[in-house]
Structure 1
Amino acid sequence: MQSTKYDLPQILANLNIEALNEMQQASITGNEAHKNVILLSATGSGKTLAFILPVLETLKSKTKGTQALIIVPSRELAMQIEKVFKQSGTGYKITCCYGGHKREIEENNLIEAPTVIVGTPGRLADHIRRENIKTDHIQTLVLDEFDKSLELGFQEEMSEIIKQLPALHKRILTSATSSVEIPEFVGLEDAATLNFLSGEDGAEKALEVKQVLSPVNDKLETLFKLVCFLGNRSTIVFCNHREAVERVSDFLSDKGIVSVFYHGALDQRERDSALVKFRNGTSNVLVTTDLAARGLDIPNIRYIIHYHLSLTEDTYTHRNGRTARMDASGTAILLIGADEKLPAYVTEPVEEIKLDGEYEVPEKPKWSTLYLPHGKKDKVNKIDIVGFLTQKGELKKDDIGLIEVKDFFSFVAVRKSKVSHTLQLIKEQKIKGKKAKFEVAK
């Protein structure tokens, strides 16, 4: 590969890398030949360098202003990319912007426009709105791990950012999964896909199936022990009936485990509240009927517990499909009562988890969920809520977690230790001209 834009041997030496791998080589070649590229490769395979080098190829040393924007789903990834870019020793300036970082520091870093900016969607959108980031010369856009950004609900911010890029010429998207639809707002036309994922059966291999034997038919105590054994990990418990869902959830709550329940007899606000609390980390355990086995957008579920065995293989498969997604691993655990045996549809080898010891109740989550009776129809959006809570409620950005704005109401995760003080501060305040009646979500 010939290039006059950067010194590849020097960059590799600076990064202490002997040679590019096959995927990185293919990315360079693919990006030379195509304007838009989708790069699919497993986590940890070297995607950062695989897009940094093509980005360097697009930069013009004599052009002032920001020329490339890299959008990522998390601050950790933003910081990692900044580190790799700086270690490459290219001479170009890069700045990192993310929630929880002091805005004043970022604003100072942006006064003299860096050639490359990397950051999370919310913070980047905020800087663009405040005109701290000038977008006129940004020609190259990288959406790194775009599947996770979409999964975490950043569509609105990403769409807003991309609309503000009038000179955009090149797009590079990376992901560790091929199962994500790319939204229209990305503007991806005639993209070349470079697929280095090892086969489409990766997700199936990532799912382990285990069993726990209950000494009695009533499996509540065994379930409690199992949840304590698994610890603070995102877990869905499936039951076959609504009454059982509430009984199981109440039992776990009485034992000190924060859980929420979800079934078809709940009204819309109750359903939304349960799912939001589970998504945002207010509760790590969701007890539900098979209503949650299909179509729900709940990322990063580590365990599926079949409290009741599903009646059909199809239902069993759909329940298990909630985990081991997006190239992550997951475990399905069947709870087998004294008079039950493994269903015939379970054909894979099943390891037994033995619950012999005494297990401590997991530490309670550090987040709480606030409910606001205003939403999109009241012209309230996520940015309004963050601004309100930081200014009137004296919260820092990293005290605020996932925000979900519905048509007529909104939910926001807030660090539990700050909730009572914040509610006291904001009880007489207004948001968008209406009294902000925030309360802890029921």
Structure 2
Amino acid sequence: MNPDPEYTVSDTSFSSLNLPPTMLSNLADLGYKEMTPIQARSLPHALADKDIIAKAKTGSGKTAAFGIGLLLKINQRDFGTQALVLCPTRELSTQVAQEIRRLARFKNNLKLVTLCGGQSVGPQIGSLEHGAHIIVGTPGRIQDLIRKGKLDLSRCTTVVLDEADRMLDMGFYEQIDGVIRNTPKKRQTLLFSATYPDGIKKLSSDLQVDPVEITVESVHSTSQIEQSFYSLEKTKKPDALARVLSHFSPESTVIFCNTKDQCREVSDHLRNLGYFAAALHGDLDQRDRDQVLVQFANRSNTILIATDVAARGLDISDLSLVINYDLPRDPEIYVHRIGRTGRAGKEGMAISLYRDSEQYKLDTISEYLSQMLQTESLSRLKKTSTDEPIKPVMRTLCIAGGRKDKIRPGDILGALTGEAGIDGSVVGKINIYDYAAYVAVKREEARKAHSRLVDGKIKGRRFKVRML
């Protein structure tokens, strides 16, 4: 590897990169004003066609860091696959694909296809029949389509591994290796990872040629986050968790557990107490995963319980509280967990529950952060039996029609605010998937909106609608 010099870029404007005027104009329209550190450090090397191994956290702007150079190399007249982006989850694949499409608005007739597990393979094969310039997806599904002879990567000159550490955590090493063996030996390989475990170094040595190593601030700044560690002493964990939630009454909380079984147990416990909580873990099918993520993101659920792998790529703004129900062994994972609160200059709160036997984990985290950690007793938190859990401000309606039915967010909004007579101010986020759409509506107006959609039409058609 060739370590890149420390970040000393003085001109962070995109115009300093000698990009095409049409791309610069599109970047300006999208609100890309200045390059982030990862963009400023990696783009010059990416544009010079060098291999890169970059350490950067989620939310650092890394999609543009690899997407800009990737797009400039695409020849629209060649419908062979020229670029491949591998991601650990469908959610991250979808986010990456959406951002690349936005970045690609300056190019006409460019086709991007998303290929992920958890969905029917038939429509994906159909999407590939007429070729695709860019493929974004998960290693398992892409390898499956290569084996079926439905995907040809022989003309793929750019490969991106996004959140490579999580792909390794999920056991994708063999699939990644198998996929990339089907690409030309002469290619550009860009590897992005939040952490550098040994597996990443091996992956880089196996797949890259003389890569430039780039490291920007790889952890979320904890200066805006109030961290507290509560000793359980003789208190049972479920009771301790309920006490924390009752005392702080957060509007939105992510609770991290180390196992999917623990996620299910915590979710069941909180729902029995009246909390609007849902678990996100690897055993959920794709439809259920979509629903859990949508309901939390659009404020129809106040609590999300997740494992680290399941929560990867989760980007929720205005998150009030992160709770470590189980402390992780790795201090980097701890920092990435709590970094989901206190974003964009806002203050956040992170609370961890621990037993005396886990003191070594606190010591490791303290050393990693180079700061003393505040440990407290649960007895200082008020214990109430009368306070009811906060109800979410929104409720989600699920419509049995989506992108494949040519439904757009404006169609749903129009159906609600037009004939249905719902005020637009009560309508929240609208999420469109291939075969389903989700719309958040203020809780007090949800039943009215549901009945109006059931009795009405969207784009002249009737669709089944249910409240989640």
TM-score, normalised by the number of residues in structure 1: 0.55
The equivalent residue for 1:356 is 383
The equivalent residue for 1:21 is 36
1:265-284 equivalences under 5 Å are: 280=282
2:307 is aligned with 1:324: no
Cα distance in 2 for residues equivalent to 1:95 and 1:70: 11
Of 123-132 and 84-93, deviating more is 84-93
Conserved? CA contact 2:57–2:220, under 8 Å:
no
Of 6-15 and 73-82, deviating more is 6-15
2:225 is aligned with 1:225: no
The equivalent residue for 2:91 is 76
Deviation at 1:180, TM superposition (A): 5.6
Conserved? CA contact 2:115–2:135, under 8 Å:
yes
Change (3 A) 1:234 1:9: closer
- Which of residues 169, 184, 209 is equivalent to 1:151? 169
Deviation at 1:35, TM superposition (A): 2.1
The equivalent residue for 2:139 is 121
2:183 is aligned with 1:165: yes
What is the letter of the counterpart of residue 55 of structure 1?
A: L
The equivalent residue for 1:102 is 120
Change (3 A) 1:360 1:165: farther
What is the letter of the counterpart of residue 62 of structure 2?
A: K
Change (3 A) 1:320 1:98: closer
The equivalent residue for 1:391 is none
1:239-258 equivalences under 5 Å are: none
Deviation at 1:177, TM superposition (A): 2.8
- Which of residues 206, 209, 212 is equivalent to 1:189? 209
Deviation at 1:170, TM superposition (A): 0.5
Change (3 A) 1:355 1:34: farther
Cα distance in 2 for residues equivalent to 1:207 and 1:180: 32
Deviation at 1:77, TM superposition (A): 1.6
**Misfit runs of 4+, over 6 Å:** 200-207
Cα distance in 2 for residues equivalent to 1:279 and 1:2: 41
What is the letter of the counterpart of residue 94 of structure 2?
A: M
Conserved? CA contact 2:164–2:191, under 8 Å:
yes
Cα distance in 1 for residues equivalent to 2:29 and 2:74: 20
Cα distance in 2 for residues equivalent to 1:3 and 1:71: 28
Counting aligned pairs with the same residue, the percent is: 22
Secondary structure, counterpart of 1:60 in structure 2: coil
Deviation at 1:322, TM superposition (A): 8.9
The equivalent residue for 2:74 is 59
Cα distance in 2 for residues equivalent to 1:324 and 1:207: 14
Secondary structure, counterpart of 2:70 in structure 1: helix
Deviation at 1:115, TM superposition (A): 0.7
Cα distance in 1 for residues equivalent to 2:44 and 2:332: 37
Cα distance in 1 for residues equivalent to 2:334 and 2:229: 14
What is the letter of the counterpart of residue 98 of structure 1?
A: C
Cα distance in 1 for residues equivalent to 2:235 and 2:43: 56
What is the letter of the counterpart of residue 22 of structure 2?
A: D
After superposition, the C-alpha distances for 1:294-318 in whole angstroms (9 at most, x for unaligned) are xxx9857976669xxxxxxxxxx99
Deviation at 1:167, TM superposition (A): 4.5
The equivalent residue for 2:407 is none
2:241 is aligned with 1:211: no
Conserved? CA contact 2:282–2:310, under 8 Å:
no
Secondary structure, counterpart of 1:324 in structure 2: helix
After superposition, the C-alpha distances for 1:204-227 in whole angstroms (9 at most, x for unaligned) are 99894422566xxx544xx33114
Deviation at 1:152, TM superposition (A): 1.8
After superposition, the C-alpha distances for 1:135-176 in whole angstroms (9 at most, x for unaligned) are 110111001111111122222221221122235511011123
Cα distance in 2 for residues equivalent to 1:107 and 1:113: 10
Cα distance in 1 for residues equivalent to 2:166 and 2:203: 17
Of 74-83 and 352-361, deviating more is 352-361
Unaligned runs of 5+ in 2: 1-15, 246-252, 271-279, 285-306, 312-321, 340-349, 357-361, 367-371, 390-468
What is the letter of the counterpart of residue 191 of structure 1?
A: P
Cα distance in 2 for residues equivalent to 1:4 and 1:160: 34
Secondary structure, counterpart of 2:255 in structure 1: coil
After superposition, the C-alpha distances for 1:396-424 in whole angstroms (9 at most, x for unaligned) are xxxxxxxxxxxxxxxxxxxxxxxxxxxxx
Conserved? CA contact 2:232–2:355, under 8 Å:
yes
Cα distance in 1 for residues equivalent to 2:17 and 2:328: 49
Of 53-62 and 110-119, deviating more is 53-62
Conserved? CA contact 2:227–2:373, under 8 Å:
no
Of 344-353 and 164-173, deviating more is 344-353
Change (3 A) 1:50 1:34: same
Change (3 A) 1:112 1:210: same
Cα distance in 2 for residues equivalent to 1:40 and 1:300: 21
Cα distance in 1 for residues equivalent to 2:333 and 2:17: 44
Change (3 A) 1:323 1:203: farther
Deviation at 1:117, TM superposition (A): 0.5
Unaligned runs of 5+ in 1: 238-248, 259-277, 283-296, 307-316, 337-343, 362-442
- Which of residues 52, 55, 62 is equivalent to 1:40? 55
Cα distance in 1 for residues equivalent to 2:21 and 2:170: 35
Conserved? CA contact 1:202–1:327, under 8 Å:
no
The equivalent residue for 2:22 is 7
Change (3 A) 1:110 1:226: same
Secondary structure, counterpart of 2:131 in structure 1: coil
Conserved? CA contact 2:41–2:214, under 8 Å:
yes
Cα distance in 1 for residues equivalent to 2:82 and 2:51: 16
TM-score, normalised by the number of residues in structure 2: 0.52
The equivalent residue for 1:417 is none
Cα distance in 1 for residues equivalent to 2:338 and 2:232: 26
Cα distance in 2 for residues equivalent to 1:349 and 1:304: 15
Deviation at 1:86, TM superposition (A): 2.0
